[in-house]
Amino acid sequence: MTEPATSRIDDACATANRRVHVITYGCQMNVYDSRRIVQVLGAEGWVETADPAMADLILVNSCSVRDRPEKKILGTLSRLLPLKEAHPGLRFGVCGCVAQQHGDALLDKVPYIDLVFGPDRIADLPAILASTGKGLRQSRTTLDAPADYTFLDVDPSVETGATSFLTIMKGCDRFCAYCIVPYVRGRQVSKPADRVLAEVTSLVAVGVREVTLLGQNVNAYGKDRPGETDFPSLLSRIAGVPGLRRVRFVTSHPADADDRLLDLFGTLPALAEFLHLPVQSGSDSVLARMRRGYTAAQYLERLARVRRAAPDIALSTDFIVGFPGETDEEFEATLRLVEEARFDSMFSFKYSSRPGTLAAQTRDDVPEARKAERLARLQTLQDGISRERLARFLGREEEVLIEGPSRDTRQGGRGKAILEMQGRTRTNLTVNIATDVPIGEARGRLARVRIDEILVHSLRGTVLAWEAA
Ligand code: 5AD
Ligand code: SF4
């Protein structure tokens, strides 16, 4: 989640065009927004380049959810600064959540940043660039009022793979005590259901087989549009789109994961058996201080419910350790929950105080060393459980959606004679497969794969049969 993804489109026939290089930090929502940025600029004749040295504009799409995000951005841009000296027309921009949070202050502080714009201002980018062309440094960070917010169109032609993200709502109304999202992304706004359906259909038409629905609290979809389609109904309609083989969604809040939603896992064939359900802590008192709206027992009951619906489902979660006032006993409760929950995977973080949040009013009093020690204990415990969960796949036959060359192959195959493809199981595990089928033919197809080997966080297998093209 913290490593930046860089832009990937080729530079073919781009000599006359202006070129943009986008570096993306943070969540899938940011990955999606980066595609929209490329799309908005594409309509103005820009092309995306994977090489910052070729760019006329370098954008950092930033995340402010934790750590010291400004430092990360400035580190990235200062490393690229020599490019600006070599190419005086090159402009640097910061967008995303840090841009939203700091706005003008970033321009004041950092002389080599030319433009700053928030997530709600992506459509204004051509106008911002026109102003910066006149030598003005620009910052645009107005958040739209929910009633005025319009989602950017999805241009399916910017999609190049078998899988795609699709934002179906923005913002969040929950205001968990530690979380900056409602302040940088604003209040919840859901995209109208008919529009979501039309977008899914248009993605399938260009070859997308798997869609991941995105929202900061995606399962609260529709709660801002009472009487209209709610999330379980939307999911059921999407799962019925002809040609769509898999649908996933992130991120879900346990208090909004009702029985109707969880039971869909047993009934909708296209709903892939994977659920990311952040718990944050196993201690009821910490959960109450975090304002999460559920207890550890209620959370475990949600897991039991979804496992009854889909016994083989893979479950993942997020934890924060060292929330203000977290005692040793409270942390032990987290370890107990992890023992009991048997998650397949986990993301865990040391608490960091975020400006403007409720928790920021309380002293960040757990010493850094204790946070680090708790994080290490938690991760060691989960590593063993993850290994045990992964082991159940050995020898099994899995449905794998082929996404492209494996990472090894992309990096030159490390001298291997046989190239590898990479795909995912319905449970969201990466599978590497050696094959002589050309990648162009395999990408986007489903294969029945026998799992031969368990790697650290992924699998390796052999294709037994291909789904007809
Ligand atoms: N400190 C540490 N981790 C945080 N997260 C969100 N806010 C903070 C914070 N202030 C984590 C949560 C969330 C994930 C995206 O980031 O675990 O689920
Ligand atoms: Fe980071 Fe949250 Fe913004 Fe996503 S929405 S980029 S996780 S702060």
Which SS3 state, helix, strand or coil, does residue 214 take?
A: strand
Distance 97 CA to ligand 2 centre (A): 6
Q: In 142-175, which positions are buried (b, 16+ CB within 10 angstroms) versus exposed (e)?
A: ebbeeeeeebeebbbeebeebbbbbbbbbbbebe
How confident is the model over 333-378, as pLDDT tens digits? 999 999 999 999 999 999 999 999 999 999 999 999 999 999 999 9
- Residue 13 pLDDT greater than 50, yes or no: no
Q: How confident is the model at residue 94 (pLDDT cuts 50, 70, 90)?
A: very high
DSSP 296: H
Choosing among 3.90.320, 2.40.50, 3.40.50, 3.90.1570, the CATH entry for 397-466 is 2.40.50
Q: How confident is the model at residue 399 (pLDDT cuts 50, 70, 90)?
A: very high
Q: What is the mean pLDDT of residues 111-120?
A: 95
Distance 98 CA to ligand 2 centre (A): 9
Mean pLDDT of the chain: 92
Distance 318 CA to ligand 1 centre (A): 8
435-439 long-range contacts (CB < 8 A, ≥24 apart) are 435/463, 437/463, 437/466, 439/404, 439/405
Could you give the CA distance from residue 30 to residue 257 in angstroms, rounded to a whole number?
24
Ligand 2 atom 8 nearest Cα: 65
Q: What is the mean pLDDT of residues 3-7?
A: 52
Question: Domain spans of the chain?
Answer: 5-142, 144-272, 298-392, 397-466
Q: How confident is the model at residue 15 (pLDDT cuts 50, 70, 90)?
A: very low
- Residue 10 pLDDT greater than 50, yes or no: no
How confident is the model over 436-457, as pLDDT tens digits? 888 888 889 999 999 999 998 8
Among 16-30, 70-84, 293-307, the range of highest mean pLDDT: 293-307
400 close to ligand 1 (CB < 6 Angstrom): no
- Residue 8 pLDDT greater than 50, yes or no: no
Distance 349 CA to ligand 1 centre (A): 7
The mean-pLDDT minimum among 45-54, 262-271, 407-416 falls in: 407-416
Ligand 1 atom closest to the CA of 354, numbered from 1: 10
Is 298-392 the same fold as 144-272?
A: yes
Q: Tell the burial category of 368 from Cβ atoms under 10 Å away from its Cβ (0-12, 13-18, 19+).
A: exposed
Distance 254 CA to ligand 2 centre (A): 19
352 close to ligand 1 (CB < 6 Angstrom): yes
Contacts of 157 (CB under 8 A, 6+ apart): 206
The predicted pLDDT at position 339 comes to 98
The predicted pLDDT at position 418 comes to 56
21 close to ligand 1 (CB < 6 Angstrom): no
- Residue 469 pLDDT greater than 90, yes or no: no
Ligand 2-lining residues (CB < 6 angstroms): 26-27, 29-30, 63-65, 96-97, 180-181, 184-185, 216
Ligand 2 atom 4 nearest Cα: 27
Ligand 2 atom 6 nearest Cα: 63
How confident is the model over 175-190, as pLDDT tens digits? 999 999 999 999 999 9
The mean-pLDDT minimum among 30-39, 72-81, 155-164, 190-199 falls in: 155-164
Within 63-150, residue ranges assigned H as helices are: 69-86, 97-102, 104-109, 125-133
- Residue 194 pLDDT greater than 80, yes or no: yes
276 close to ligand 1 (CB < 6 Angstrom): no
323 close to ligand 1 (CB < 6 Angstrom): no
Distance 184 CA to ligand 1 centre (A): 14
- Residue 48 pLDDT greater than 90, yes or no: yes
Q: What is the mean pLDDT of residues 104-118?
A: 94
The answer to whether residues 161 and 208 touch, using CB atoms and an 8 Å cutoff, is yes
Could you give the CA distance from residue 107 to residue 138 in angstroms, rounded to a whole number?
8
354 close to ligand 1 (CB < 6 Angstrom): yes
Q: How confident is the model at residue 6 (pLDDT cuts 50, 70, 90)?
A: low
Q: What is the mean pLDDT of residues 195-222?
A: 96
First and final C-alpha spacing in the chain: 33
Distance 182 CA to ligand 1 centre (A): 13
Distance, C-alpha 250 to centroid of its chain: 8
5-142: CATH number: 3.40.50.12160
The mean-pLDDT minimum among 166-175, 235-244, 264-273, 406-415 falls in: 406-415
138 close to ligand 1 (CB < 6 Angstrom): no
- Residue 40 pLDDT greater than 60, yes or no: yes
| Residue (of 32, 18, 24, 20) closest to 6 by Cα position | 24
The mean-pLDDT minimum among 48-62, 184-198, 438-452 falls in: 438-452
The predicted pLDDT at position 16 comes to 60
Q: What is the mean pLDDT of residues 261-280?
A: 97
Q: Are strands 189-190 and 446-454 parallel, antiparallel or unpaired?
A: unpaired
Q: How confident is the model at residue 416 (pLDDT cuts 50, 70, 90)?
A: low
The answer to whether residues 61 and 95 touch, using CB atoms and an 8 Å cutoff, is yes
Could you give the CA distance from residue 294 to residue 298 in angstroms, rounded to a whole number?
6
Q: How confident is the model at residue 88 (pLDDT cuts 50, 70, 90)?
A: confident
> Per CATH, the architecture of 144-272 is what?
2-Layer Sandwich (3.30)
Phi, psi dihedrals of residue 444, rounded to the nearest 5°: 85, 0
The predicted pLDDT at position 276 comes to 98
Could you give the CA distance from residue 298 to residue 293 in angstroms, rounded to a whole number?
10
Choosing among 2.40.50.140, 3.30.465.10, 3.40.50.2300, 3.30.750.200, the CATH entry for 298-392 is 3.30.750.200
